[in-house]
Structure formats: C-alpha cells, structure tokens
Structure 1
Amino acid sequence: MGNVPRLPGRAEHHWLWQEEAACRELGSRLFFHHAGEPGQDRERRDAAAKEVCALCPVQRDCLRHALKVGEPFGVWGGLSERERRRLAATKAERSALTSTA
C-alpha cells in the first residue's frame, strides 16, 4: 500500500463551482457540436449555449477552467473552442511581449 499521508487529499473544492452552473441540468447537446453539424446549425446552437452562459453565476469559473485545461471542444464560459483558442493566443502573445521587454 502507498504512503497514504503523502497523498494530496480530497480535491472536490476545485469543482464546487459546477454545482451552481446554469447548464448543470441541460445535458451536453447544447454545448457540444456533433460530427457533420452544418455551419448554420452550429452557429445557432452555439448562440443558444452562450445565452445560457450569459446568465450563469459561475461563467468566469467555467471559462477559467476551460482555458486552464485547454478544453478543445464545446462552449465553456460563454466562448466557443475557436474563441478560446484566439483568447489563449492573444494572452500568449501579450506574455511573450512583456517577457522580452
């Protein structure tokens, strides 16, 4: 058996924000596209998902999580995967500029 006292302990406090999420009971269909989803359908679905996010009390926590783990799919914290990639790239550019100055 491993050295139990050295284990980090429970980590559920990292996920408690999810209990307050507006999407908690909605399922994943609204937030994740399916293979072959036409562009206009995807745009409408993403817009509907973002409407849920806009009213969510933990939107920032959700977005922070998605950015931290590099979530590659779905609408998280009100941003699509493309929007999160753009945001991450912009932050990386700013960071690179400030570290060379």
Structure 2
Amino acid sequence: MWVEDWSMQAGCRDTQPDTLFVKGAEQNKAKQVCASCLVRSECLAEALENRIEWGVWGGMTERERRALLRNNPGASWGEVLRAAKAADIRVTV
C-alpha cells in the first residue's frame, strides 16, 4: 500500500538528520536506517521527483539517485515506485 503522507511513518523520523546527510563510508550506515523502513519507496520517489541532491533518501545515496535519473530521464518515479511496491519489487542501481 502506497502512503502519501509517508514522513510520519519513516524509519528515520527519530534519527538525527545529520546521520542521513553524510559522505563516504558513513553513507552505508545511513542506508541501514532505510533497510527496514516501511515507506522507503515513498521516500525515494520524493527525492527523485524533486531532484533532491543531498543525503540518503529511500536507501539511496545522491550518486545512486543521479545514476537512476540519468539512465531513466523521463520516468515518473511516483508511478514506477508505486507499481514496484505493489509488486514487491526492489529498485536497485
């Protein structure tokens, strides 16, 4: 089920924001926060649709999101990720 107002259910809602806006190897720790999040797809769609450039969103770093955007320039990420979530498919780079 897709959650429009996802931020209140985010696994990181009680995490310090500085934890998710890190560089290098620290990004792997930030991505672990996302691993079991129930609204990971919604978060990722938000970052992709709004071209958010910094931080880990939906379990992806800014580099990983840029690669998705570059390889799929016309994608409607809300639709793509909504369908993937309904089919229980994980999007990877």
Normalised by the size of structure 1, how large is the TM-score? 0.66
Indicate the residue corresponding to 1:72 in structure 2.
53
What is the alpha-carbon root mean square deviation over aligned residues? 1.9
For residues 1-101 of structure 1, the aligned pairs below 5 Å read: 14=4, 16-33=5-22, 42-92=23-73
Higher relative contact order (CA 8 A, sep 6+): 2
User: Structure 1 stretches of 5 or more lacking a match?
Assistant: 1-12, 34-41, 95-101
Matched-pair identity in %? 37
Deviation beyond 6 Å, 4+ runs, structure 1: none
| Equivalent AA in structure 2 for residue 32 of structure 1 | F
Normalised by the size of structure 2, how large is the TM-score? 0.71
User: Structure 2 stretches of 5 or more lacking a match?
Assistant: 76-93
Instruction: Name the count of aligned residue pairs.
Output: 73
Residues 8-28 of structure 1 deviation map (CA, whole Å, 9 limit, x = unaligned): xxxxx85x2100000001021
